[in-house]
Amino acid sequence: MSFDTFIVHVIEARHLASMDRGGTSDPYCVLKSSFNSQKFKTKVQKKNLTPRWDQEFKIFTTKAEGTVHLQMYDKDFISRDEFMGEIKIHLSDIPVDGVEHEKWMPLENEPTKKKVDKAQGEVRLKFKYTGRDFKPVKKVVESDSLKTGSSIAPRADSNPATPRRHSLEEEVKPVEKEIPPKTIEEKYDLGKVIGRGAFSVVKVGVRKSNKNKYAVKCISKKLIDKKELTLLEREIDIMQKLQHTNIIGLVEVIDTPETLYLILEFASGGELFDAIVNRGNYTEVDAARLIKQILSAMAYVHSHGIAHRDLKPENLLLANEPGQSDLIKIADFGLSKDFGAEQMATSCGTPDYVAPEVLGGEVYDSAVDIWSIGVITYVLLCGFPPFYGENQKELFENIMKGNYDFPDPEWSGVSEDAKNFIKKMLVVEPEKRYNAEQCLQDKWLQDLASDRKNFKRVETFSATKFKAYAQKYKEQNPSPYYEGEH
């Protein structure tokens, strides 16, 4: 049974404690998972002892293990919020059947001194496992009469001979799987090399059945050790989970005795920075549209509990169809990691784009990606990076201190909204840095999305400096995806 999401639907509550002097409360709920860093909060229901939220939250996991901790608080608009009780939802108690189960669950550790109603406080919740390849059972299961503290299970059928719950094997017919090819040549015609990595090459591949073009990453098993194989398996697992317009899609994996082939979407537009070098006119609208796509993808990635950890120019590709506007495709999830599964403290990334907490050897999370996007935004608007140094030591010191500015004349023609947007991302303290969702709501991007503001061409954009920077960067950081013409 394959699933990737556990859905918790917080509906309503009853028999709550009266936390205010007026005999009411302003309750809201906070949900935290024990297996990743996802955290959610419902809206506040003012002056209500029977609040109704009716809010659904998606928690990403592939195992029916761990707990989701629900804590209820009374919102105090003057001082500290007060605790009203808690519920621990054990995922192992929820049937993995794709069916929505509903239950009133009791609040533990309530402030009994403030209880007017002697009945125990309860929250009505719904639960369900789901996923892209998940096949739910056909029978609708009702579970509203379940007893508190017991594992959630369907009611017994009126016919005593009927089992309480049919197994998935009995309910779902097996899906016929395509027989994997023994060689890559059975399905694809491989063409020229368009990129190289440490133990791989990327070739153009044309599928024989439909003539569609793909990028085929060919990984020699002879050149990788067990550690590299583990990282590769993690990359494949992450890419199979992620399906987003602005992320390079993993179409399929072909495993042969000597070579592992990753069949990827083909980004016909090549690398983003190359396209900018070749472009004549350039506006803040162009930059904002590109950054909005990157942020949209990262908001999606982060919601799955994953950090990319290596956002940089060569991992930003374009997949434009003729006559269409720029379509960003984010590539290379080789350093990506589930930041909920274990702590991230490994020093990785590319010097110009790495976050200060990574350089400082601190435990970090998805905020490192926002820093990288801040650097990318800066480069897109002026043509050179925000942090410089005579050597790498000086560069890293400036990054860790957040030493950057907006020098004239390159920044004189850029809007204050754009500068303020960058300032919210290039914040040394990660807890004060905007997250992807906050960035998407920023005035600079919002004005663009709703056409409330007409951005002019960035007259001060240094195309010469951008070209020089892009060329130097490419020499120091050769792309694993595209080289030469494409």
**Catalytic residue set:** 310
Q: Which amino acid is at 132?
A: R
What's 234's DSSP letter? H
Q: Give which of 106, 67, 70, 71 is closest to 90, Cα–Cα.
A: 67
For residue 465, how many other CB atoms are within 10 A of its CB?
Answer: 14
Please tell me the number of Cα atoms within 13 Å of 465 on its side-chain side: 13
Q: Hey, is 313 helix, strand or coil?
A: helix
Residue 132, token pair as written in the block: 């892209």
DSSP count for the chain of H helices, then E strands: 11, 18
Is residue 349 within 8 A of residue 470, CB to CB? The reply is: no
Is residue 479 within 8 A of residue 312, CB to CB? The reply is: no
End-to-end CA distance of the chain: 41
Q: Which amino acid is at 431?
A: E
* Residue 316 bridge partners (DSSP): 330
- CA dihedral (272, 274, 280, 284) positive or negative: positive
What torsion, rounded to 10 degrees, do the Cα atoms 183, 189, 194, 195 define? -10
